[in-house]
Chains A and B, each alone.
Chain A
Amino acid sequence: MTEHVFKILVTGPFAAGKTSLIQSVSQTTVVSTEVDTSGDESDVKPNTTVAMDFGTYAMDDGAIRLLLFGTPGQPRFRFMTNILKGDVDVVAFVVDAEAKGTHAAAGVELRSLLSDLEVPAVVAVNRCDDPGVAAKVARRLGARNGERIVPCQLVDPDSGVDVVIEILTTLLESMDDEPFEVATDTGETAPADGQQSDRVEADVA
Protein backbone atom coordinates (compact mmCIF):
# COMPACT_ATOMS: atom_id res chain seq x y z
CA MET A 1 0.00 0.00 0.00
CA THR A 2 1.41 3.37 -0.94
CA GLU A 3 1.33 6.05 1.67
CA HIS A 4 0.39 9.55 0.59
CA VAL A 5 1.79 12.25 2.81
CA PHE A 6 0.65 15.84 2.38
CA LYS A 7 2.00 18.97 3.97
CA ILE A 8 -0.62 21.45 5.08
CA LEU A 9 0.34 25.00 6.06
CA VAL A 10 -2.05 26.33 8.71
CA THR A 11 -1.69 30.08 8.76
CA GLY A 12 -3.67 33.28 9.27
CA PRO A 13 -3.66 36.32 11.55
CA PHE A 14 -3.00 36.49 15.31
CA ALA A 15 -5.72 34.89 17.44
CA ALA A 16 -7.59 33.42 14.45
CA GLY A 17 -7.66 29.85 15.78
CA LYS A 18 -4.70 28.14 14.07
CA THR A 19 -3.39 26.38 17.17
CA SER A 20 -6.95 25.41 18.18
CA LEU A 21 -7.50 23.83 14.77
CA ILE A 22 -4.35 21.73 14.96
CA GLN A 23 -4.97 20.73 18.56
CA SER A 24 -8.54 19.72 17.82
CA VAL A 25 -7.79 17.46 14.84
CA SER A 26 -4.30 16.07 15.48
CA GLN A 27 -4.13 12.37 16.23
CA THR A 28 -0.61 12.66 17.60
CA THR A 29 0.65 14.83 20.42
CA VAL A 30 0.83 18.36 19.12
CA VAL A 31 4.20 20.02 19.10
CA SER A 32 3.37 23.53 20.17
CA THR A 33 5.49 26.58 20.97
CA GLU A 34 3.05 28.63 22.98
CA VAL A 35 4.33 31.19 25.46
CA ASP A 36 2.77 33.94 27.55
CA THR A 37 1.76 37.04 25.64
CA SER A 38 2.85 40.50 26.76
CA GLY A 39 1.75 44.07 26.11
CA ASP A 40 -1.40 44.75 24.11
CA GLU A 41 -1.57 41.17 22.87
CA SER A 42 -2.16 39.91 26.41
CA ASP A 43 -5.50 41.74 26.28
CA VAL A 44 -6.53 39.48 23.39
CA LYS A 45 -5.36 36.11 24.76
CA PRO A 46 -2.93 34.77 27.35
CA ASN A 47 -0.80 32.54 25.07
CA THR A 48 0.63 32.76 21.60
CA THR A 49 2.61 30.53 19.22
CA VAL A 50 6.14 31.83 18.64
CA ALA A 51 7.61 29.28 16.24
CA MET A 52 5.29 26.56 15.03
CA ASP A 53 2.62 23.99 15.80
CA PHE A 54 2.85 20.50 14.42
CA GLY A 55 0.12 17.88 14.32
CA THR A 56 -0.91 14.97 12.12
CA TYR A 57 -4.12 13.51 10.78
CA ALA A 58 -4.25 10.07 9.14
CA MET A 59 -7.05 8.18 7.46
CA ASP A 60 -7.51 4.88 5.63
CA ASP A 61 -5.16 3.16 8.08
CA GLY A 62 -2.45 5.66 7.35
CA ALA A 63 -2.71 5.47 3.55
CA ILE A 64 -3.28 9.22 3.63
CA ARG A 65 -1.45 11.35 6.15
CA LEU A 66 -1.74 15.07 6.64
CA LEU A 67 1.14 16.86 8.32
CA LEU A 68 -0.21 20.07 9.76
CA PHE A 69 2.33 22.87 10.17
CA GLY A 70 0.93 25.88 12.01
CA THR A 71 2.59 29.29 11.88
CA PRO A 72 2.56 32.16 14.36
CA GLY A 73 0.13 34.91 13.37
CA GLN A 74 1.98 38.14 14.11
CA PRO A 75 3.87 39.85 11.29
CA ARG A 76 7.06 39.87 13.38
CA PHE A 77 7.14 36.06 13.04
CA ARG A 78 6.70 36.10 9.27
CA PHE A 79 10.13 34.48 8.87
CA MET A 80 8.66 31.33 10.43
CA THR A 81 5.99 31.19 7.72
CA ASN A 82 8.76 31.54 5.15
CA ILE A 83 10.60 28.61 6.74
CA LEU A 84 7.50 26.43 7.00
CA LYS A 85 5.91 27.11 3.61
CA GLY A 86 8.28 25.03 1.50
CA ASP A 87 6.73 22.12 -0.40
CA VAL A 88 3.24 22.81 0.93
CA ASP A 89 0.36 20.97 -0.76
CA VAL A 90 -2.55 22.98 0.64
CA VAL A 91 -2.79 26.23 2.58
CA ALA A 92 -5.39 26.24 5.35
CA PHE A 93 -5.97 29.91 6.04
CA VAL A 94 -7.76 30.55 9.33
CA VAL A 95 -9.51 33.85 9.96
CA ASP A 96 -11.78 35.00 12.78
CA ALA A 97 -15.07 36.19 11.26
CA GLU A 98 -15.68 38.54 14.18
CA ALA A 99 -12.22 40.11 14.26
CA LYS A 100 -12.97 42.36 11.29
CA GLY A 101 -9.98 44.56 12.07
CA THR A 102 -7.67 41.71 11.03
CA HIS A 103 -9.29 41.07 7.66
CA ALA A 104 -7.54 43.68 5.52
CA ALA A 105 -4.04 42.56 6.51
CA ALA A 106 -5.13 38.91 6.34
CA GLY A 107 -6.30 39.45 2.77
CA VAL A 108 -2.94 40.87 1.74
CA GLU A 109 -1.20 37.92 3.38
CA LEU A 110 -3.51 35.34 1.80
CA ARG A 111 -3.15 36.75 -1.70
CA SER A 112 0.62 37.07 -1.52
CA LEU A 113 0.93 33.56 -0.10
CA LEU A 114 -1.24 32.03 -2.82
CA SER A 115 0.42 33.87 -5.68
CA ASP A 116 3.76 32.77 -4.25
CA LEU A 117 2.95 29.11 -3.55
CA GLU A 118 0.47 28.42 -6.34
CA VAL A 119 -1.27 25.72 -4.32
CA PRO A 120 -4.97 25.35 -3.50
CA ALA A 121 -6.30 26.85 -0.29
CA VAL A 122 -9.04 26.24 2.24
CA VAL A 123 -10.30 29.34 4.04
CA ALA A 124 -11.53 28.37 7.52
CA VAL A 125 -13.78 31.15 8.78
CA ASN A 126 -13.71 30.72 12.54
CA ARG A 127 -16.48 31.84 14.91
CA CYS A 128 -18.97 31.58 12.09
CA ASP A 129 -21.89 29.19 11.47
CA ASP A 130 -23.36 30.71 8.33
CA PRO A 131 -21.86 29.69 4.95
CA GLY A 132 -23.12 32.97 3.46
CA VAL A 133 -21.26 35.03 6.06
CA ALA A 134 -18.18 32.85 5.60
CA ALA A 135 -18.27 33.43 1.84
CA LYS A 136 -18.57 37.17 2.42
CA VAL A 137 -15.54 37.16 4.74
CA ALA A 138 -13.55 35.15 2.21
CA ARG A 139 -14.49 37.63 -0.53
CA ARG A 140 -13.35 40.47 1.71
CA LEU A 141 -9.98 38.69 1.95
CA GLY A 142 -9.82 38.73 -1.83
CA ALA A 143 -9.99 34.96 -2.13
CA ARG A 144 -9.87 33.90 -5.77
CA ASN A 145 -12.65 31.65 -6.97
CA GLY A 146 -10.90 28.36 -6.33
CA GLU A 147 -10.70 28.32 -2.51
CA ARG A 148 -12.96 26.13 -0.46
CA ILE A 149 -14.58 28.17 2.26
CA VAL A 150 -15.69 26.54 5.47
CA PRO A 151 -17.45 28.15 8.42
CA CYS A 152 -16.29 26.67 11.73
CA GLN A 153 -16.22 27.06 15.50
CA LEU A 154 -12.73 25.98 16.39
CA VAL A 155 -13.36 26.08 20.14
CA ASP A 156 -15.55 23.05 19.41
CA PRO A 157 -13.21 20.06 18.84
CA ASP A 158 -15.58 18.49 16.27
CA SER A 159 -15.58 21.58 14.12
CA GLY A 160 -11.93 21.20 13.11
CA VAL A 161 -12.81 17.97 11.32
CA ASP A 162 -14.95 19.98 8.89
CA VAL A 163 -11.83 21.89 7.92
CA VAL A 164 -9.86 18.66 7.48
CA ILE A 165 -12.59 17.27 5.21
CA GLU A 166 -12.30 20.35 3.01
CA ILE A 167 -8.53 19.94 2.93
CA LEU A 168 -8.89 16.31 1.84
CA THR A 169 -11.45 17.21 -0.81
CA THR A 170 -9.14 19.92 -2.10
CA LEU A 171 -6.27 17.44 -2.29
CA LEU A 172 -8.39 14.99 -4.27
CA GLU A 173 -9.43 17.72 -6.69
CA SER A 174 -5.89 18.95 -7.20
CA MET A 175 -4.76 15.39 -7.92
CA ASP A 176 -7.45 15.15 -10.61
CA ASP A 177 -6.24 18.43 -12.10
CA GLU A 178 -2.65 17.44 -12.48
CA PRO A 179 -2.77 15.58 -15.82
CA PHE A 180 -4.62 18.50 -17.40
CA GLU A 181 -2.05 21.02 -16.21
CA VAL A 182 0.66 19.04 -17.95
CA ALA A 183 -1.40 18.75 -21.15
CA THR A 184 -2.10 22.49 -21.42
CA ASP A 185 1.40 23.54 -20.50
CA THR A 186 2.67 24.15 -24.04
CA GLY A 187 -0.37 25.90 -25.48
CA GLU A 188 -0.60 28.57 -22.79
CA THR A 189 2.56 30.61 -23.11
CA ALA A 190 2.41 33.02 -26.03
CA PRO A 191 -1.09 34.19 -26.98
CA ALA A 192 -2.68 34.74 -23.57
CA ASP A 193 -0.32 37.48 -22.42
CA GLY A 194 -1.47 40.77 -23.99
CA GLN A 195 1.34 42.90 -22.62
CA GLN A 196 3.97 40.69 -24.05
CA SER A 197 2.55 40.74 -27.56
CA ASP A 198 2.20 44.56 -27.38
CA ARG A 199 5.86 44.82 -26.60
CA VAL A 200 6.73 42.58 -29.53
CA GLU A 201 4.69 44.77 -31.90
CA ALA A 202 6.40 47.91 -30.60
CA ASP A 203 9.75 46.36 -31.26
CA VAL A 204 8.75 45.55 -34.81
CA ALA A 205 7.48 49.08 -35.46
Chain B
Amino acid sequence: MSAVPNEMQSPGPGAGQAASDWHAPSVASGFAPPPPPGARVDRTRPTTVQEALDQLTVEIPGARGAILASVDGFTLASSSTLPHDPAHAAVLAAANGLALQLVGLTDGQQLRQLVVDHDQGLLLMWPIGNKRVVALLTVSNVDQARLRGYVRAHARLLAGDS
Protein backbone atom coordinates (compact mmCIF):
# COMPACT_ATOMS: atom_id res chain seq x y z
CA MET B 1 0.00 0.00 0.00
CA SER B 2 1.25 3.44 -0.73
CA ALA B 3 2.28 5.91 1.95
CA VAL B 4 1.51 8.99 -0.09
CA PRO B 5 -0.34 11.58 2.00
CA ASN B 6 -3.87 12.49 1.01
CA GLU B 7 -3.08 16.08 0.21
CA MET B 8 -2.15 16.93 -3.32
CA GLN B 9 1.54 17.58 -3.56
CA SER B 10 1.57 19.43 -6.81
CA PRO B 11 0.85 23.16 -6.78
CA GLY B 12 -1.67 23.19 -9.60
CA PRO B 13 -3.12 21.48 -12.63
CA GLY B 14 -0.62 20.29 -15.19
CA ALA B 15 1.97 19.51 -12.55
CA GLY B 16 1.02 15.83 -12.41
CA GLN B 17 4.66 14.69 -12.82
CA ALA B 18 5.40 15.74 -9.26
CA ALA B 19 3.71 12.63 -8.00
CA SER B 20 5.48 10.29 -10.41
CA ASP B 21 7.30 8.48 -7.62
CA TRP B 22 3.94 7.05 -6.57
CA HIS B 23 3.26 3.57 -7.87
CA ALA B 24 -0.26 2.59 -8.66
CA PRO B 25 -1.22 -0.90 -7.53
CA SER B 26 -1.21 -3.29 -10.45
CA VAL B 27 -4.47 -3.86 -12.22
CA ALA B 28 -5.87 -7.17 -11.13
CA SER B 29 -6.96 -9.30 -14.04
CA GLY B 30 -10.43 -10.55 -14.59
CA PHE B 31 -12.93 -8.24 -13.02
CA ALA B 32 -12.43 -4.74 -14.30
CA PRO B 33 -13.35 -4.23 -17.94
CA PRO B 34 -10.63 -2.56 -19.97
CA PRO B 35 -11.07 1.19 -20.28
CA PRO B 36 -12.86 2.19 -23.49
CA PRO B 37 -10.67 3.50 -26.29
CA GLY B 38 -9.73 7.09 -25.71
CA ALA B 39 -10.31 6.94 -21.98
CA ARG B 40 -7.58 8.85 -20.25
CA VAL B 41 -6.55 6.74 -17.31
CA ASP B 42 -3.61 8.20 -15.43
CA ARG B 43 -1.51 5.91 -13.33
CA THR B 44 -0.14 8.82 -11.33
CA ARG B 45 -2.09 10.38 -8.49
CA PRO B 46 -5.24 11.85 -10.02
CA THR B 47 -5.49 15.61 -10.06
CA THR B 48 -9.12 15.83 -11.17
CA VAL B 49 -12.26 14.11 -9.95
CA GLN B 50 -12.70 12.57 -13.38
CA GLU B 51 -9.23 11.03 -13.16
CA ALA B 52 -9.91 9.77 -9.65
CA LEU B 53 -13.11 8.00 -10.74
CA ASP B 54 -11.46 6.54 -13.84
CA GLN B 55 -8.49 5.32 -11.82
CA LEU B 56 -10.87 3.72 -9.33
CA THR B 57 -12.51 1.63 -12.03
CA VAL B 58 -9.08 0.44 -13.17
CA GLU B 59 -7.49 -0.21 -9.79
CA ILE B 60 -10.32 -1.83 -7.89
CA PRO B 61 -11.23 -5.21 -9.34
CA GLY B 62 -14.95 -5.39 -9.97
CA ALA B 63 -15.58 -1.64 -9.83
CA ARG B 64 -17.53 -1.01 -13.00
CA GLY B 65 -18.26 2.66 -12.69
CA ALA B 66 -18.47 5.65 -10.41
CA ILE B 67 -20.50 8.83 -10.37
CA LEU B 68 -19.97 11.92 -8.27
CA ALA B 69 -23.15 13.95 -7.84
CA SER B 70 -24.26 16.97 -5.87
CA VAL B 71 -26.94 16.27 -3.26
CA ASP B 72 -29.32 18.38 -5.32
CA GLY B 73 -28.98 16.18 -8.36
CA PHE B 74 -26.26 17.44 -10.69
CA THR B 75 -23.56 15.24 -12.18
CA LEU B 76 -20.13 16.51 -11.14
CA ALA B 77 -18.17 13.70 -12.78
CA SER B 78 -18.57 10.12 -13.85
CA SER B 79 -16.12 7.46 -14.87
CA SER B 80 -15.56 6.90 -18.59
CA THR B 81 -16.97 3.40 -18.17
CA LEU B 82 -20.49 4.83 -17.80
CA PRO B 83 -22.65 6.52 -20.40
CA HIS B 84 -23.36 10.09 -19.36
CA ASP B 85 -26.98 10.41 -18.32
CA PRO B 86 -28.05 13.47 -16.32
CA ALA B 87 -30.89 11.42 -14.81
CA HIS B 88 -28.40 9.31 -12.84
CA ALA B 89 -27.39 12.20 -10.60
CA ALA B 90 -31.00 13.19 -9.99
CA VAL B 91 -31.96 9.63 -9.06
CA LEU B 92 -28.97 9.42 -6.71
CA ALA B 93 -29.93 12.73 -5.08
CA ALA B 94 -33.50 11.55 -4.57
CA ALA B 95 -32.31 8.25 -3.14
CA ASN B 96 -29.93 10.11 -0.83
CA GLY B 97 -32.76 12.39 0.29
CA LEU B 98 -34.97 9.42 1.11
CA ALA B 99 -32.11 7.52 2.76
CA LEU B 100 -31.52 10.49 5.07
CA GLN B 101 -35.20 10.29 6.02
CA LEU B 102 -34.84 6.59 6.73
CA VAL B 103 -31.88 7.33 8.99
CA GLY B 104 -34.03 9.80 10.92
CA LEU B 105 -36.85 7.25 11.09
CA THR B 106 -34.61 4.94 13.09
CA ASP B 107 -33.13 7.67 15.28
CA GLY B 108 -29.84 7.76 13.41
CA GLN B 109 -27.86 10.93 13.01
CA GLN B 110 -25.70 10.26 10.01
CA LEU B 111 -26.06 8.32 6.78
CA ARG B 112 -22.96 6.22 6.20
CA GLN B 113 -23.90 4.38 3.08
CA LEU B 114 -26.79 3.30 0.92
CA VAL B 115 -26.45 -0.19 -0.49
CA VAL B 116 -28.53 -1.44 -3.39
CA ASP B 117 -27.88 -5.15 -3.75
CA HIS B 118 -29.27 -6.45 -7.02
CA ASP B 119 -28.93 -9.37 -9.39
CA GLN B 120 -26.16 -7.74 -11.40
CA GLY B 121 -24.09 -6.49 -8.50
CA LEU B 122 -24.00 -3.66 -6.01
CA LEU B 123 -24.61 0.04 -6.03
CA LEU B 124 -22.89 1.63 -3.07
CA MET B 125 -23.59 5.27 -2.38
CA TRP B 126 -21.51 7.17 0.15
CA PRO B 127 -21.85 10.78 1.26
CA ILE B 128 -18.82 12.94 0.55
CA GLY B 129 -19.17 15.76 3.03
CA ASN B 130 -22.76 16.97 3.13
CA LYS B 131 -22.99 18.41 -0.37
CA ARG B 132 -21.95 15.47 -2.53
CA VAL B 133 -22.42 11.75 -2.90
CA VAL B 134 -20.37 9.19 -4.76
CA ALA B 135 -22.05 6.12 -6.20
CA LEU B 136 -20.04 3.03 -7.07
CA LEU B 137 -21.33 0.33 -9.39
CA THR B 138 -19.58 -2.92 -8.65
CA VAL B 139 -19.79 -6.68 -8.88
CA SER B 140 -21.39 -8.38 -5.87
CA ASN B 141 -18.16 -9.60 -4.31
CA VAL B 142 -16.11 -6.43 -4.69
CA ASP B 143 -13.54 -5.75 -1.98
CA GLN B 144 -15.52 -3.10 -0.16
CA ALA B 145 -12.72 -2.30 2.28
CA ARG B 146 -10.37 -1.56 -0.58
CA LEU B 147 -13.03 0.50 -2.33
CA ARG B 148 -13.62 2.49 0.83
CA GLY B 149 -9.89 2.95 1.26
CA TYR B 150 -9.59 4.36 -2.23
CA VAL B 151 -12.47 6.79 -1.78
CA ARG B 152 -11.19 7.84 1.62
CA ALA B 153 -7.72 8.49 0.19
CA HIS B 154 -9.27 10.77 -2.43
CA ALA B 155 -12.00 12.25 -0.26
CA ARG B 156 -10.65 15.77 -0.34
CA LEU B 157 -10.44 15.76 -4.10
CA LEU B 158 -13.96 14.28 -4.39
CA ALA B 159 -15.33 16.76 -1.86
CA GLY B 160 -14.03 19.61 -3.98
CA ASP B 161 -11.98 21.22 -1.23
CA SER B 162 -8.50 20.05 -2.15
Contacts and interface: CB of A to CB of B under 8 A. Distances in A.
Given A33-B98, A77-B94, A41 B72 contact: yes
Interface string B112-136: 0000000000000000001100000
A76 B101 contact: no
Contacts of A197: none
Nearest to B91: A79
Interface in A35-52: 35-39, 41, 48-52
B98 A51 contact: yes
A135 interface: no
Contacts of A48: 72
Contacts of A76: 73-74, 86-87, 89-90
Contacts of A50: 71-73, 90, 93-94, 96-97
Contacts of B74: 38-39, 76
B70 interface: yes
Interface residues of A, number: 21
B91 A38 contact: no
Contact of B72 (A31, A35, A52): A35
A169 interface: no
B100 interface: yes
A171 interface: no
A52 B95 CA distance: 10
A33 B100 contact: yes
A11 to B, nearest CB: 15
Nearest to B95: A51
A34 B104 CA distance: 13
B71 A31 contact: no
18 contacts: A33-B97, A33-B101, A35-B97, A37-B72, A38-B70, A39-B74, A50-B94, A51-B98, A52-B98, A74-B73, A76-B73, A76-B86, A76-B87, A77-B73, A77-B94, A79-B87, A79-B90, A79-B94
Given A32-B101, A35-B71, A50-B71, 16 more contacts: A34-B97, A35-B97, A36-B72, A36-B130, A37-B72, A38-B70, A48-B72, A50-B90, A50-B96, A50-B97, A51-B94, A51-B98, A72-B94, A74-B73, A79-B90, A80-B94
Interface of A: 31-39, 41, 48-52, 72, 74, 76-77, 79-80
